[in-house]
Structure 1
Amino acid sequence: MRETIVFIHGLTGSKQAFRKQIAYLADSYNTYVYDLLGHGEDRGKAVDFTLKNLVKQLEDFFEEKGIERAHICSLSYGCYPSTIFANKWQDKVLSLCFIGGHYNSPSPLRDIFQQYWDCRNEPYPLWLKKYSHAIYPKDGLIDPYSIVSNKVYYKYGLELHKDILRDALEHRLNYDLRSDLASLTLPVLWVMGDHDSLYKSSLRDLDQVIPHVVYSELKHAGHAANLFQPNCFKEVYGVFLGDFSSVNPRYA
């Protein structure tokens, strides 16, 4: 019986973020992807963008598709609903893969989240432009990865309802994702781009939070490492999926 993978995109993105991964995994796995609340066909609409509703959306998706157990692969902010779901429904999740994942540890990343939460009442286009530059700073004099991420985040962020990114900031500042991550016993793969310095700053104690984590850093990649280096990610995730049962014998 074929195993299942559910992909969850990040803020301002869409299910298209995983089209290459689905293309090369669909022959071996049942693959599913969906758009987060307020994204995709609902882009621009006002939604109740709470963690409770995001987890409920994932629960409803499992039920709608008849998914009993699945690997979950999430990008950036997608690590929040996927982790909460995995702790709530441990028997439904085979493994977790986080791409550009982060959590609420003291770090330069959290400082930026706090800074832009404090000035969240500025006019949205201006706020978003400054925020996009802050979360995707240049790593060196020439950093095409940051430039691309900055432009994409700003362009598609403008199409979202103005409350979504601000609500997500509140989640990142006040929800204790670190504790949820520390409770995980299932296999975890954590993938980061080597140029994703700001987001990596939140992971300084990752090996203490998740002692069994498999960490992989992709060369020549920014925040959305699977988009910058799809072939490298294919290799890393393929090996993990093939070996995950040996990481935790419970799933053998």
Structure 2
Amino acid sequence: MKEKIVFVHGLTGKKRAFHKEIDYFSQAYHTYAYDLLGHGEDRGKPVEFILENLVKQLEVLFDQEGIEKAHICSLSYGCYPATIFANKWKDKVLSLCYIGGHYNSPSPLFDVFQHYWDASNENYSKWLKNYSKDLFPKEGAVDPYSLVSSKVYYKYGLELDKGILKEAIGHRLFYDLRSDLKNIDVPVLWVMGDHDFLYKSSIADLKKVIPHVQYKEIPHAGHAANLFRPNSFKKIYEEFLNGIQLAKSEKIPV
């Protein structure tokens, strides 16, 4: 029987962010993706963008699709509902994969979050434009990865209800995701783009938080590393999943 993978996209995105992975992994797995609250077909609509509701989305998906257990792969902010769900429903999660994941720690990334939380009453378009630039700062004279990430974040962020990105900053500042990550005992793959400098600043103690984590960096990639280098990500994720299957088979007596 095929195992299942649930893909969780990040802020300003939509479920199609994983369409290449879904096409590829659907050969060996049942794959699922969905739109976060206020995204996808609900883009622009006001929603109650709180963590409880975001976790509820996953619970509803598992229930409606009859998913008893699944691997969960999340992009960026998607690490929050994915991790909280995994701690709440430990028997439902086979593994966790984080792409551009981050958590609450003193870092330049969280300095940016704090600044834009304090400045959240500014004109939304101006606030978002500056926030998008500071989230993906240039490293050197030529840095196409930050430029693309910043433009995409600003473009699609404008289409969201203006409360969503501001609420999400509050989640990163005030929810202790690190404590939840310390309780994760399933296999964990953490993937970052090598040019994702700001987000990498928040995971300096990752090995202490998750001692059994498998950490991988994808060369020539920005924050959403799977979108910049889909083939590289698919290879890394497939090797991770195959390793889990191999470990399981070695424990089964012949």
Q: CA deviation at 1:7?
A: 0.2
Residues 140-168 of structure 1, C-alpha deviation per residue, up to 9 Å, x if partnerless?
Answer: 11111111000000000000000000000
| Structure 2 unmatched runs, 5+ | none
Match of 2:22 in 1: 22
One-letter amino acid matched to 1:43? R
TM-score (norm 1): 0.98
The separation in 1 between residues aligned to 2:30 and 2:74, in whole angstroms, is: 16
Alignment of 1:6-21 (within 5 A): 6-21=6-21
Alignment of 1:97-108 (within 5 A): 97-108=97-108
Alignment of 1:156-171 (within 5 A): 156-171=156-171
Change (3 A) 1:248 1:191: farther
Q: CA deviation at 1:139?
A: 1.6
Corresponding residue SS for 1:106: coil
| Structure 1 unmatched runs, 5+ | none
The separation in 2 between residues aligned to 1:153 and 1:30, in whole angstroms, is: 30
The separation in 1 between residues aligned to 2:21 and 2:70, in whole angstroms, is: 16
TM-score (norm 2): 0.97
Change (3 A) 1:64 1:123: same
Residues 57-114 of structure 1, C-alpha deviation per residue, up to 9 Å, x if partnerless?
Answer: 1100110111110000000000000000000000000000000000001000000000
One-letter amino acid matched to 2:49? F
Match of 2:53 in 1: 53
Corresponding residue SS for 1:31: strand
Q: CA deviation at 1:248?
A: 8.4
Counterpart contact for 1:43–1:159, Cα < 8 Å: yes
Residues 158-213 of structure 1, C-alpha deviation per residue, up to 9 Å, x if partnerless?
Answer: 00000000000000000000000011000000000000000000011000000000
Change (3 A) 1:158 1:211: same
Match of 2:244 in 1: 244
One-letter amino acid matched to 1:235? K
Report whether the alignment pairs 1:227 with 2:227: yes
Aligned length: 252
Report whether the alignment pairs 1:179 with 2:179: yes
Corresponding residue SS for 1:98: strand
Match of 2:4 in 1: 4
Counterpart contact for 1:212–1:247, Cα < 8 Å: no
The separation in 2 between residues aligned to 1:205 and 1:15, in whole angstroms, is: 30
Match of 1:217 in 2: 217
One-letter amino acid matched to 1:25? F
Report whether the alignment pairs 1:111 with 2:108: no
The separation in 1 between residues aligned to 2:90 and 2:246, in whole angstroms, is: 18
Corresponding residue SS for 2:68: coil
Q: CA deviation at 1:244?
A: 2.0
Counterpart contact for 1:186–1:248, Cα < 8 Å: no
Give the CA RMSD over aligned residues.
1.5
The separation in 2 between residues aligned to 1:9 and 1:54, in whole angstroms, is: 12
Report whether the alignment pairs 1:73 with 2:73: yes
Change (3 A) 1:211 1:245: farther
Corresponding residue SS for 1:38: coil
The separation in 1 between residues aligned to 2:182 and 2:110, in whole angstroms, is: 19
The separation in 2 between residues aligned to 1:145 and 1:118, in whole angstroms, is: 27
The separation in 2 between residues aligned to 1:191 and 1:203, in whole angstroms, is: 11
Change (3 A) 1:226 1:68: same
The separation in 1 between residues aligned to 2:134 and 2:247, in whole angstroms, is: 37
One-letter amino acid matched to 1:31? T
